[in-house]
Amino acid sequence: MEFHKGYGIVTTEDVVYSHEQFYEGALLARAGFIGQYFGFDGDPDTGASTTILDDLTFEVFTGEPWVPARVYEFLRTGGGGSTWTVSKKQSEELGIEKASLDIASTGPWEIQEHASGQFWKFSAVQDHWRQTPFFEELVLWTIPEESARVAGFQTGNLDTFAMDFDSIITVEKVEGALK
């Protein structure tokens, strides 16, 4: 699997680097678990450590048994409290701050443009290893006001949106809305 923007194939070094950044940044709710599991926290009592064996393999020694559910908590897919892999090369080349605003990801959508608090514009990645999206462009609008989001959906200006549960009754009345 390759990173967008020409940053090459995802390697074990990218995976370990990404988890270490989540731990060091401590912004993810599960950062402490990540540090304990991979041995980034330097706790001498557990002796946990991570060793990169080659470009596609790394070994984690936890020092003590781990319940898999704790690991699955920080590895689950985006939208929850999950982690994702970034390009170490991009972070080193551009700096973490700049790279985090224009991430070279691996999914079927590549970030083209964004404005904080306003929108994210993506283009479909042609011949994506998983599946090429069914349409060329995706725009995710950041609309803070619920009534404006609902009105955008009612008028057909939005195809989908994040809504409050209280709006379900109103949205279900829109012709063509899935129930």
Confidence of residue 22 (pLDDT cuts 50, 70, 90): confident
Q: What is the DSSP letter of 77?
A: P
pLDDT of residue 78: 47
Give the domain ranges of the chain. 4-101
Confidence of residue 162 (pLDDT cuts 50, 70, 90): confident
Which residues, 6 or more positions from 154, have their beta carbon under 8 angstroms from its beta carbon? 170, 171, 174
pLDDT at 77 over 60: no
pLDDT at 81 over 60: no
Q: What is the mean pLDDT of the chain?
A: 88
pLDDT in tens, 106-118: 889 998 988 888 9
pTM: predicted TM-score of the whole model, two decimal places: 0.73
pLDDT at 11 over 70: yes
pLDDT, mean of residues 150-166:
91
Q: Please give the Cα distance from 53 to 47 (Å, whole number).
A: 18
